[in-house]
Amino acid sequence: MKKYIYCFFAFSLQLSFLSAQVINYTKLDSGVTLIHVEEKGSGTVSASLFVRGGNSGESAQESGITWLMLKLLLKGTGKYNAEQIALETELLGASITSGCSNDYSEISLTVLAKNFTPAFQIFADVINNPVFPEKEFETEKRKLLATIMSKNDSIFDTSLDLFYETIYRGHPYGMPVTGYYASVSSLTVAQAADRYNKMFRKDDMIISVAGDIEFAKLKETVEKFFPGVKQVPAEEYSNAGSGLLYAQGESFAEKKIFKGKFGQSFIFSGFLAPCAGERVYPAIKLINAIYGGGMGSRLFEQLREKYGFVYEASSFYPTRISSSVFAVYAGTSKENIESVESAIKDTLKNISPISEQELLAGKEFLKGTYLMDHRTQYKRAWYLGMWEAVGLGYGYDTTYIKDIDNVTPYEIHRVIGAYFDISKLVTIIVE
């Protein structure tokens, strides 16, 4: 069954639900951090292994190496070849996927609970014993180059990459996680193996699990299959905070216009913003929800409901270990792009004051959407591991909502004054 549908607007648990869950957390003798939530009767298990360090530790010449290395993990171990990994996994009703963000890398397993142990054995093997076959490397490199090319056919992807490149000015956060065509073309299998050897340390591994499995059994299984992961001395490589950024206040204003090959135009506009660890993080999340978070947001109201300029418009404030961005985007016709740019500037300029009513509504919206984002088992496991990987700790999964609730009107006012300076707006337009 497959549905072709067109949505009105492309979008994408209750506080007591999240805080009521029992979370098991332990550091195993091997150094691996294990986080677990049992979900009896679900019949499935989701496990995510996080390693601190995504593409932010890459040089421009090696851009894309982390992504490529992670894909290659699934292409051969000392025990299984690529075909065996794929087939045996799927015969068990399991899927193993891998990828990275700026700050962390992730390998995930979704499996029927009954088959957890044999599937986890394969999962552990691809993580601990990859052999990086040359032939498979060339295949994966070819596929990654095709992915990069296909991004050029998407106005959103093209514009987003240009925005990050412009606003992060030479920092690794400005490079796409999939790398550039030129950099990926020149990557070698030796570089992939080297990247793996530097990144995958037992003391940097976090395994987060949600599903139909008891903690004791899980712990026993993880201890069995992650007995002694390779350790690299800390001085050789540090995943945490690799290649970090300029401080707040060093933002700058810039506007770039690019010629596109598309019928529409697209705009990204924004400025640097604090990282996830800063005290103002919840307040900015809240401002983002109020400004551009949904169909009732200020941005949506202005660009779509009032003028009918856009089908798609939103803002985002991603969770980053180092400097994040507060960014706005919209797609519109070429003749309306100036009006949209002007409307974005105006709405940002006039973002203050935010009324108490808006603040309350924003809190409810943010808490509700966070709850919804936890409705799959994969995401419940993912959030626990992600918060741990970005340094806020797995407990932040529940603290986050409390922090949102505790944001005061004064704090909103103060944060807008400190960070929402449109004289430092970075804008890119793909015409």
Partner 1 sequence: MNKIQKFPILCVLTILSVLCNCAAESVRLKNGINIYLEEQNTSPLTSIQIWVAVGSVDEPLELSGISHFIEHTIFKGTKTRGRNDIAPAIERKGGVMNAATSKDFTYFYALVPEQHCTETLDIISDAILNPEFPQEEIDKERLVVLEEISRRDDMPVAVLSNEFYSLIYGTNPYSARILGSSGVITSLSREKILDFHKSYYTPDKIFIVLTGKFNSKSVLAQITKYFGALKYQKTGSKTSNANVSFLPDINSSSRSKIFYKNVSQTYMIMGFPAADIKSNDQYKLDVLSYIIGHGKACRLNKKFVEENKLAYAVSASFSTHRGPGLFSIYTECPPGNADTLRNRIMLELLELPSSITEEELSRAKTLLLRDKLLDRQTPDGLADEIGFYAALGNPDITTRYIKEIQKVGIHDIGEIIDKYFSFPNLPTVIVTYEDF
- Looking at residue 75, its amino acid is K
Q: Give the sheet arrangement for strand 310-316, strand by strand.
A: 254-258, 426-430, 265-273, 324-332, 310-316
Binding to partner 1 in span 329-358, by CB under 8 A: 331-333
Distances in Å between the alpha carbon of 312 and those of 126, 245, 426?
A: 40, 31, 20
What is the smallest separation between the CB atom of 7 and partner 1, expressed in angstroms? 5
Binding mask 283-322 toward partner 1 (x if CB under 8 A, else -) reads ----------xxxx-------xxxxxxxxx----------
Residue 49 in contact with residue 122, Cβ under 8 Å? no
| Distance from C-alpha of 3 to C-alpha of 373, rounded to nearest angstrom | 22
Residue 427 sits at φ, ψ, to 5 deg, of: -130, 135
What is the smallest separation between the CB atom of 172 and partner 1, expressed in angstroms? 25
Q: Using the rule CB under 8 A, give the single segment among 58-66, 151-159, 199-207, 314-322 that binds partner 1.
A: 151-159
Binding to partner 1 in span 381-420, by CB under 8 A: none
| Distance from C-alpha of 96 to C-alpha of 80, rounded to nearest angstrom | 14
Residue 269 sits at φ, ψ, to 5 deg, of: -140, 135
| Distance from C-alpha of 104 to C-alpha of 245, rounded to nearest angstrom | 16
Q: Using the rule CB under 8 A, give the single segment among 197-205, 255-263, 272-280, 414-422 that binds partner 1.
A: 255-263
> Whose Cβ is closer to partner 1: residue 95's or residue 248's?
95
Residue 338 sits at φ, ψ, to 5 deg, of: -65, -40
DSSP type of residue 302: I
> Whose Cβ is closer to partner 1: residue 190's or residue 372's?
372
For position 254 contacting partner 1 by CB under 8 A, the verdict is no
Quickly count: other Cβ atoms within 10 Å of residue 116's Cβ: 24
For position 259 contacting partner 1 by CB under 8 A, the verdict is no
Binding to partner 1 in span 34-73, by CB under 8 A: 41-44
What is the smallest separation between the CB atom of 189 and partner 1, expressed in angstroms? 17
Binding to partner 1 in span 2-21, by CB under 8 A: 2-9, 11, 13-14, 16-17
Among 78, 170, 233, 263, binds partner 1 (CB under 8 A): 263
Binding to partner 1 in span 356-375, by CB under 8 A: 360-361, 364-365, 367-369, 371-372, 375
For position 99 contacting partner 1 by CB under 8 A, the verdict is no
Q: Which of 287, 289, 286, 254 is nearest to 270 (CA)?
A: 254
In three-state secondary structure terms, 316 is strand
Residues 6+ apart with CB under 8 A from 208: 35, 36, 47, 48, 50, 381, 382, 384, 385, 388, 394
Among 112, 131, 240, 422, binds partner 1 (CB under 8 A): 112
Binding to partner 1 in span 153-172, by CB under 8 A: 153-155
| Distance from C-alpha of 76 to C-alpha of 387, rounded to nearest angstrom | 30
In three-state secondary structure terms, 349 is helix
What is the smallest separation between the CB atom of 145 and partner 1, expressed in angstroms? 8
Binding mask 267-286 toward partner 1 (x if CB under 8 A, else -) reads --------------------
For position 224 contacting partner 1 by CB under 8 A, the verdict is no
Query: Residue count at the site for partner 1 (CB under 8 A)?
Result: 84
Quickly count: other Cβ atoms within 10 Å of residue 197's Cβ: 14
Q: Which of 68, 337, 316, 113 is nearest to 209 (CA)?
A: 113
Joined together, the tokens standing for residue 33 give: 């951090």
b/e map 381-394, b = 16+ CB within 10 Å? bbbbbbbbbbebeb
What is the smallest separation between the CB atom of 305 and partner 1, expressed in angstroms? 7
Joined together, the tokens standing for residue 128 give: 């601990």
> Whose Cβ is closer to partner 1: residue 194's or residue 301's?
301
What is the smallest separation between the CB atom of 247 and partner 1, expressed in angstroms? 35
> Whose Cβ is closer to partner 1: residue 232's or residue 371's?
371
For position 142 contacting partner 1 by CB under 8 A, the verdict is yes
What is the smallest separation between the CB atom of 339 and partner 1, expressed in angstroms? 12
For position 252 contacting partner 1 by CB under 8 A, the verdict is no
What is the smallest separation between the CB atom of 262 and partner 1, expressed in angstroms? 4
What is the smallest separation between the CB atom of 396 and partner 1, expressed in angstroms? 20
For position 182 contacting partner 1 by CB under 8 A, the verdict is no
Q: Using the rule CB under 8 A, give the single segment among 24-32, 86-94, 249-257, 419-427 that binds partner 1.
A: 86-94
For position 178 contacting partner 1 by CB under 8 A, the verdict is no
> Whose Cβ is closer to partner 1: residue 28's or residue 351's?
351
b/e map 352-376, b = 16+ CB within 10 Å? eebeeebbebbbebbbeebeeebee
> Whose Cβ is closer to partner 1: residue 312's or residue 421's?
312
In three-state secondary structure terms, 48 is strand
